Structure 1
Amino acid sequence: MEKVESSKGVSNWETLHRYILVIIFNKLNVMDITMGASRVCTSWFLASHDKTLWNTVDLAKIQQKGRPILFYKHQVDNEVEEEFPLTKTTTWYLYDTHGVEEGMSLLKLLIKITNLNGTVTKNLFFNFHSYIKEKELKFAAERLKNIEKLALPIWFDSTEESCRFSFSQWKNLKTLIIVHDSYLTKTIFEFRIVGENCRNLTNLKYLGTFQVYYSKEIVCYLQSIKRLSLRCSSVSIEAVLWLMKRLENLTILNLSHCKELYMSSGMDMNPRTIHDYNDYLVQAATQKLEKLIICPQYNCKVCKDGPNGFEPHLSFQKHWRNDEIKELEF
């Protein structure tokens, strides 16, 4: 049978209307757009600059094993290794065991993204496996100043100078999601710096070990917080009570799926009255909060599916995008 030439009435990919290209590009991740679609031809390059593509930069979606994508050869700097050798050993264990691929540096990818998006990005979500160095954190803050919602991974350079500069650029920040564990990173998250620079912050999610120290910092510097999630964290009862009593604008508190609710040593409480921690917290919350979110004590699938004690980071990775408070989902 003679082959019929039908290309005359068919649109070529490079001549597709920009509106159609943008719809297609919205199905891609940032790596596919910056390293793929934007390089195909002139029309695709121009379409890749469309503002609707860059309202959210979600690096958390780029995590397929086997692809050479934005992960790093050195998870912890040498100066950290000298002071805390166990920290670097631990991070190399996580790095090797879970198959994170070395590939494009985060800084290089951020440069390519900002060349396409201008300053329109309002939501920036880093990848859970990222180790963000000081220069990368500063670059993101300097070039993406209009961020309103930010998700930071457990490993990022949190020196006072770099944090102060970065959060001083993010004046419009309304929602902050952080994964942090002082026992693993040997660092303290600087809520003071956030509070001094981000006066519009009303939503906060902390995933890690939450102690009384952090409650006092939040009460002192982040009185604007209305919604707080400690979902899947290890939480001190004393820290929670401190927040309930002193965080004046707090209306919603999420304590669902906490791996551990414990009492700090020296707390002046009668154990008989807190045999059921949930009931005790509910009683305290009804006096102050509009809503306290907790999970069923003995019938919670998320809690039953929790990780073993040797790999608590697996729970962080699995759940940090989810939350019962919609403003803290991403």
Structure 2
Amino acid sequence: MEVDVPDRKKWEEMHNDILVKIFQTFDIFDLTSGIAQVCSTWRHAACDPFLWETLDLSMLKSNFIKIPLEPYVYVDGRSDKTLTRLLKISLNLSRGNISTLIFHFNLYVHDDQLTYIAERSPKLKRLVLPAWNRIKRTVICKAINMWQDLESLTMPSIANPLCIMEQISNNCKNFSQLKIMGPCDMFFAHTLATCLPNLKVLSLRCSMLFKDALLIILDGLKHLEVLNISHCVIIEVPPPPAPRKVLKELDELIIGKASRIREFVTCMDDVCVMCRRTWVDEGFLRWYKYEEGLWKDDEVRSLAI
């Protein structure tokens, strides 16, 4: 007796939507492993914009050592080659559709790599780039000039942020969210108030924050809706000869100025693990010492990863 067996589709004959759902379960290493070269059907699915809304490289770290001179890190050549390969394949498959780009805090991108990214991701809206030791200011400014849709940036604290903030102010009209991973002094605060007066969301969590800088932010950012200073070491610098001191709680002046903000997120608790860690690390958290991925956390949901 003969039994009719229904026609079975081959992999290359699968519907595009099904392939996209399968590819959606892959990480960046799987997506760039060569699946787009299997056949034209697979390549078409591998280029689907849905797969490339976010390019998440937060699991990729550079193999590096610290050095005493700029850029203060030396990155192994194989790490650079791995990153360059991933970027070339990803940005080719994405066809310019990446809107969110996330780097690990110990993934050290260099000038040529960032320029390559900027030229091929014109629709970028969110950038998480908390380490740019190897990127010249002129290069990051040129990249920002290309990202006119940029809305959110996670960045390190740097000595002279003026040119970068000016580029954002001049080119990114929808920019509204900023996270700084590092100390915030008065110069940084003045720069924010001058260049980004319409900023709506700001996170300074787990860092050293000077009281005067906080007051500048509260006075200067009139449109601020969310401010996160959780686990910060807040330093007050009184006139000489009085020594600087660490605030144990927020005073009435700060609380009064912050009362207009819709969401003012704070934590200054001696029993809080993150507060203790910020204190031990003197306001510059050494994320590598702690749980993997802890650096991705933020009390502000839109800035968490």
Coarse TM-score class (shorter-chain normalised): 0.7 to 0.9
1-structure distance, mates of 2:269, 2:240: 23
Q: Match for 1:150 among 127, 130, 136? A: 127
Give the structure-2-normalised TM-score: 0.83
- Corresponding letter in the other structure for 1:139: Y
- Greater shift, 292-301 or 10-19, is seen at 10-19
1:163/1:193 contact within 8 Å kept: no
Q: Between Structure 1 and Structure 2, how many residues are aligned?
A: 298
Judge conservation of contact 1:232–1:319 (CA < 8 Å) in 2.
no
The answer (yes or no) to whether the contact 2:179–2:204 under 8 Å persists in 1 is yes
Distance change (3 Å), C-alpha of 1:103 and 1:271: closer
TM-score by length of 1: 0.77
Structure 1 residues 200-242: Cα deviation after superposition (integer angstroms, max 9, x where no partner):
1101100111111100000110112011000111211111111
2:226 to 232, 252, 255: 252
Separation (CA, whole Å) in 1 of partners of 2:70 and 2:60: 28
Asked if 2 retains the 8 angstrom alpha-carbon contact of 1:238 and 1:267, the reply is: no
Equivalent residue number for residue 309 of structure 1: 281
Matched, 1:239 2:245: no
Aligned counterpart, 1:225 = 199
Is the aligned partner of 1:85 residue 2:85? no
Residue 298 of structure 1 pairs with residue 270 of structure 2: yes
Deviation at 1:87, TM superposition (A): 5.9
Q: Name the residue aligned to 1:160.
A: 137
Partner residue, 2:250: 278
Instruction: In structure 2, give the amino acid aligned to 1:303.
Output: C
SS at match of 1:320: helix
Determine if the alignment matches structure 1 residue 40 to structure 2 residue 24.
no
Name whichever structure is richer in helix by fraction: 1
1:261 — aligned with what? 234
Shift of 1:194: 2.4
- Greater displacement, 212-221 / 296-305: 296-305
Would the alpha carbon gap of residues 204 and 120 (structure 1) be closer, same or farther in structure 2, given more than 3 Å must change? same
Determine the structure 2 residue equivalent to 1:209.
183
Q: Is it true that 1:321 corresponds to 2:296 in the alignment? A: yes
The one-letter code sitting in structure 1 at the alignment partner of 2:187 is Y
Structure 2 residue identity aligned to 1:37: I
* Cα distance change, pair 220–201 in 1 and its aligned pair in 2 (3 A): same
Choose 300-309 or 103-112, whichever is displaced more.
Answer: 300-309
Partner of 2:88: 111
In percent, how many aligned pairs have the same letter? Answer: 25
How many Å separate the matches in 1 of 2:237 and 2:278? 23
Deviation at 1:308, TM superposition (A): 5.2
For 2:13, give the aligned amino acid.
T
Q: How far did 1:296 drift?
A: 5.2
Query: What is the alpha-carbon root mean square deviation over aligned residues?
Result: 3.5
- Which moves more between the two structures, 12-21 or 28-37? 12-21
Q: CA deviation at 1:300?
A: 2.0
Residue 24 and residue 238 in structure 1: after superposition, are their counterparts in 2 closer, same or farther (change >3 A)? same
Provide the C-alpha distance between the structure 1 equivalents of 2:32 and 2:217, rounded to a whole number of angstroms.
43
* 1:45-124 equivalence runs, <5 A: 45-62=43-60, 71=62, 85=69, 88=72, 91=73, 102=79, 104-124=81-101
Residue range with higher mean Cα deviation, 44-53 or 31-40: 31-40
1:179 pairs with 2:156: yes
- 2:172 maps to which of 166, 181, 198: 198
Mapped contact 2:237–2:243 kept (Cα < 8 A): no
Higher mean C-alpha displacement, 42-51 vs 290-299: 290-299
Which secondary structure does the structure 2 equivalent of 1:124 belong to? strand
Runs of 5+ unmatched residues, structure 1: 1-6, 64-70
User: Which of 315-324 and 44-53 deviates more?
Assistant: 315-324
